Amino acid sequence: MTSEIYVSGPALPPHGDAFEYVGVQTDMSRRDYFAAAALTGLLASGNYNEITMEYAATDALGYADALIAASKEADHA
């Protein structure tokens, strides 16, 4: 991965009555969203029982960065 992260905007719509009504924060980046999804899957797999939280978090961010890079490439293809 390069040191520059391609985030490409928010994961959720920036504003809207429905989101404000339920108190959902809408400033989560796509990287945060993808990393959270990756971390959920990684931890649910059962393969991360004996590693540190930092390792799992770093791994999840790696998956998020890879997905964003692939998305960027697909956008420019």
**32-69 pLDDT tens trace:** 889 999 999 988 888 777 788 899 899 999 999 999 99
For position 38, what pLDDT does the model report?
94
Q: What is the DSSP letter of 55?
A: H
Burial of 68: CB neighbours in 10 Å, binned 0-12, 13-18, 19+ = buried
DSSP state of 31: H
Res. 2: pLDDT tops 50: no
Distance of CA 40 to the CA centre of its chain: 11
25: part of which helix (H) or strand (E)?
Answer: none
